[in-house]
Amino acid sequence: MEIIEKAPAKINLGLDVLRKREDGYHDLEMIMASVDLADKLIINELPKDQIIVRTNATFLPVDEKNNVYQAVSLVKEQFGIKQGLSVEIKKTIPVAAGLGGGSSDAAAVLRGVNKLWNLGLTTEEMSAIGFQVGTDVPYCVHGTTAFVAGRGEIVQPIPAMPQCWVVIVKPQFSVSTRKIFADFDMRGIEHPDIQGLKASIIEQDYDKMISLMGNSMERATMMRRPVVREIKDKMLKYGADAALMSGSGPTVFGLCQNYSRAKRVYNAFRGFCKEVHLVRTINQ
Give the residue from 284, 41, 33, 14 showing the smallest Cα distance to 166: 33
Question: In sequence order, which residues have a C-beta less than 8 Å from that of residue 163 and are 6 or more positions away?
Answer: 280, 281, 283
State yes or no: 110 annotated in a binding site: no
State yes or no: 102 annotated in a binding site: yes
State yes or no: 248 annotated in a binding site: no
- Find the catalytic residue in 39, 136, 170, 232: 136
3-class SS at 277? strand
Other Cβ atoms within 10 Å of 245 Cβ, number:
27
State yes or no: 260 annotated in a binding site: no
State yes or no: 100 annotated in a binding site: yes
State yes or no: 247 annotated in a binding site: no
Active site residue 179: no
State yes or no: 17 annotated in a binding site: no
**Distance, CA of 46 to CA of 43 (rounded, Å):** 10
**Distance, CA of 87 to CA of 102 (rounded, Å):** 13
State yes or no: 96 annotated in a binding site: yes
Active site residue 82: no
State yes or no: 271 annotated in a binding site: no
What does the DSSP assignment read for 165-230? Answer: EEEEEE-SS---HHHHHHT---TT-----HHHHHHHHHTT-HHHHHHH-EETTHHHHHHH-THHHH
- Find the catalytic residue in 10, 91, 198, 234: 10
In whole angstroms, how far apart are CA 23 and each of 30, 103, 186?
20, 22, 16
State yes or no: 34 annotated in a binding site: no
State yes or no: 103 annotated in a binding site: yes
Binding residues for ATP: 94-104
> Would you please indicate which residues are annotated as catalytic (active-site) residues?
10, 136
Binding residues: 94-104
